[in-house]
Structure formats: structure tokens, C-alpha cells
Homo-oligomer: A and B are copies of this chain.
Amino acid sequence: MTDDILSRIRHRGLRDRVVSAEQAASLIKDGMVLGMSGFTRSGEAKAVPLALAERARSQPLKVTLMTGASLGNDLDKILAEAHVTARRLPFMSDPSLRREINAGEVMYIDQHLSETVEQLRTKQLPSVDVAIVEAVAITETGGIVPTTSVGNSASFAILADKVIVEINLNQSAELEGLHDIYIPTYWPVRTPIPVVTPESRAGFPYIPIPPEKIAAIVISNKLDSASNVTEPDAETRQIAGHLTEFFTQEVAKGRMPASLHPLQAGIGSIANAVMHGLIDSPFEGLTMYSEVLQDSTFDLMDAGKMVFASGSSITLSEAKYTEVMARFQDYKRKLVLRPQEISNHPEVVRRLGLIAINTALEFDIYGNVNSTHVMGTNMMNGIGGSGDFARNAYLSVFVTKSIAKGGRISSVVPMVSHVDHTEHDVDILVTEQGLADLRGLAPRERAQLIIDNCVSPEWRDGLQDYFDRAVQRGGHTPHVLEEALSWHDRLRRTGTMKPE
């Protein structure tokens, strides 16, 4: 055993548990429930899943796979194509797995990210047989130190019968101390979660489990996949501009301090661009209380705009990763990674008064948001944490470009084809066209504002016409019911929402 490995496995009694990935994978049997580390392409176990996929070539092997969120290194693709994944929760974003899900081959349970471990803990989901957790190190007492994400790893390890730890020698040892592992107490009397600011620390810097539960340790060295977020473009810059202007007005009205409220931003290019836009804003002393920390978080810190960021994972582009890791000691005191149950917890989200910025696939003239289903039927990725945040935030913002597929699709429609966020949970809508502030408005008022401010010009007349005819029929939320989904049906039949 090299010195590096010895320093990573500090509990002496566990050093003889080091085995090959294949040997570790042999603990996993057909039909088991696996709880695996990994959140937004960060910190997933990397060696054991590959060994599982390999084994499935020669023997029947189907499992229920639970993770934090999406996996990197094409693992969801590899496991789906090997037909290892029979059931999957609570989130994914891989095209191959998506195909299997939409074909009905994989049963996918698309959940609020804060809820999975709560349902496990209360035995409302099948219990985890084996947890597989990527770690930087195992402490002297057998505590597991996660890597670039926490996700659901802590509760998976605590609740599982057996735990496999992948010690990744290429994940920096400096990550130790970054994590705050707090597990909510349990009934009959459950006490408040002692997180009252983004900086609050309430738990351990490692996952505390009895060391005897660690059944195998595997040494690995693959890096996380780089973020696939694209650079800001003209439209996402306009979206960022509208939102910055809105925040400026809110501060001027005395509704928020110049440090705003703690920010949450969903994964993806648009949300990342919006955050990036704050570099050129007048705001100072910003904080984040979010699930994923992307390039923009560190750019805001470098620009002196952001003073602290709490998340459940760090997902960076290749260049940013190198840069951040080279100066990690500088960043570390401004960062904490938490279990996704805590980063997304309704209690904390409401208490901190977050500004939640998430991406819509489409929204309708009354402010209902679809985040997940293409044409009401095909799963894109999943709701992720957007529901945890949108329902409980101080301000719930949804952003999207007003058109998609080269203009064949309007992202603003008469009625969304699937609802993930109801009219009750959406405060602000932003496209590159403009911003609609829906707070305190009745549905008819919202509709006119959305049509005026957010819709791409070539779709405006069509929506106005729909709304006008709907109002003729009457109702609190007027609709022409037989036409409400006709734009989607036309898209399905003709490849465009444009009238035939």
C-alpha cells in the first residue's frame, strides 16, 4: 500500500478491506437497491458501476439505482445500455437512459431532490441494500469524507446494510473539511435544523457510520466529468440583464438589501449565465444557498461580488476546475457542501428567504411552468430541486429563451402540456424579451403581462388571440379548452407550433 493510500484510509482496521472493483461489485446481487454517490456529474462512484455493467454481460443483473442526481463519466448511459438499471431515482440527464425511460423500459421516479432520503428513512421507499460512495478519505474513526458532492451519500451510507467506499486518489485531499454532514433528527420529537445562514455549520466534516459497515474499499482515480454548460450568448445575456435591472429596482424600493437575498440557481447554461451577469451588477456581498456550485460561483468570488456559497456539489468546466483546485485553500473558507436534503430543505429555504432561479422548458400565459416533459409526454431530465426551491423561496424566478428549435417552438404557450410548478409558485418569469412580475396579480392580469413582456414577437398575436377568445368564454382562468393543447399537438404532427 502506498503512503498516499495509507493517508487516505486512516482507520487501521479498514485497510484490509481494499479489494478490486470486481470483488466489491460481487456484493451486489440481482434485484438489489443501490444508493450511489453523485450529484450533477460530480463525486459519483466510478469504478464499481463499471464492474457491474461488465458483469451484466454474463449474468442477469437488474437493480434499482438511487443517486443524488445526475452522474458523470457516462455511467447512466453505460448502466442503461447494459440493462442494469431497472428503476432509477430521483434524477438523471443522460440521453441513452432518457430513451429507455421514454420507451417504458426503465421505471423512472422523478422526485423533489430533498425528499428521497426522507422517504427512505421512513421506509416509504424500498430500503438500500448497498451504498457505494466516492470518498477523499476514511478518517481514524471510520468516517467517510465525500469528494466533490454530498448528494444523498450520507443517508445512503447510514441506512444501507453494507457500504462500499471508492477512495479516489485524484480527488484532492484538500476537500476534507469542506463538508457539513447534518442529518435531521427523527420523530417523535424532531428538532429544528440549526442552519440559519448560508455559512452555518451544524454537523460533521464526514459521514459518521460504524466502520464495520464498510464491506469493501476500492481505489480509483478517474476525474469527474467536466460541466457541459455553454458560455453565455446574446439571449442569455439579455435574460441576465432583465433580472439584474429588476433586482436593482427591488433594492431601490427597499424590498431587499444591496446584498440581495441568498441566491439559488438551477443547473444549466441559462441559470449559469444569469449568475454570471451579476458580475457587472451593483450588488455586493452576495451569498448562495444552492444545490450546485458552477463556474459562475467562483467567477463571482473572484470578482469580489460573492462572499460565501453553500451547495451540495461543485460542477465546473475543465479550465475552471484546474484553476479552482490550484487555489482551493483560498476558496475553502467561503464554501460548504451539504447533503441535498439540507441544501434543498423547505425549512431552510423558507427561513433564509432565497431568490430561486430555475429554468423552464415552457410556461403558459397564466404562469404555470413545465420543467420536465417535452410535449407533455417525453421526459427531458427531471424536476430536480426546482420544486424544493420554487415553493418555499422568497422569490421564485423562472427563466427560458422565448423560442426553441430555431423558432419552430414558442416557449410561451396557451396551456403548458405538463405542470411542474403551478401558478401559485411562480413569481417572476424572464425571457430575452423581458420580465413579467406576477406577484399579487390575478390570472387575467398575469396573462396580459406575460404576452406583453415575455413572448417572441412572431408568437404574440397568436397568444393574444387565444387569450381574447378565452376571455369571451369567461372564467377565473379563461381557456378555449379544445385548443389549449393544440399548439403542442401541431408540433407533434408537423414539427412546428406554427399554424398549418
Contacts and interface: CB of A to CB of B under 8 A. Distances in A.
Interface of A: 87, 89, 101-104, 107-112, 118-119, 122-126, 187-194, 196-197, 253-255, 257, 261, 345-347, 349-353, 368, 373, 375-379, 383, 387, 391-392, 394-395, 415, 417-425, 427, 439-442, 444-445, 470-471, 473-479, 481-482, 484-486, 488-489, 492
B108 A476 contact: yes
Given A254-B123, A347-B346, A347-B350, A477 B379 contact: yes
A187 B108 CA distance: 39
Given A109-B441, A254-B123, A255-B123, A190 B477 contact: no
18 contacts: A89-B440, A107-B441, A107-B445, A124-B395, A124-B439, A187-B353, A190-B352, A192-B194, A346-B347, A347-B347, A373-B476, A376-B477, A377-B473, A379-B477, A391-B391, A420-B424, A421-B422, A481-B489
Contacts of A189: 196-197
Contacts of A423: 110
A62 to B, nearest CB: 15
A112 B424 contact: yes
Q: Which of A109, A122, A422 has the most chain B CB atoms inside 10 A of its CB?
A: A422
Closest 6 CB pairs of A and B: A377-B475, A192-B192, A379-B476, A419-B419, A107-B442, A347-B347
Contacts of A379: 475-477
A427 B118 CA distance: 14
A484 B492 CA distance: 14
A383 B475 contact: no
A104 B254 contact: no
Contact of A126 (B257, B440, B478): B440
Contacts of A376: 415, 477, 479, 481, 484
A436 B440 CA distance: 36
A126 B345 CA distance: 29
Given A346-B350, A350-B346, A473-B377, A417 B124 contact: no
Contacts of A102: 474-476
Given A376-B479, A417-B479, 18 more contacts: A102-B475, A104-B471, A109-B441, A123-B255, A124-B255, A124-B427, A124-B440, A126-B440, A346-B346, A346-B392, A373-B475, A373-B476, A376-B415, A376-B477, A377-B473, A387-B422, A387-B425, A418-B477
Contacts of A118: 394
Contacts of A191: 196, 351
B123 A440 contact: no
Nearest to A194: B192
A59 B194 CA distance: 54
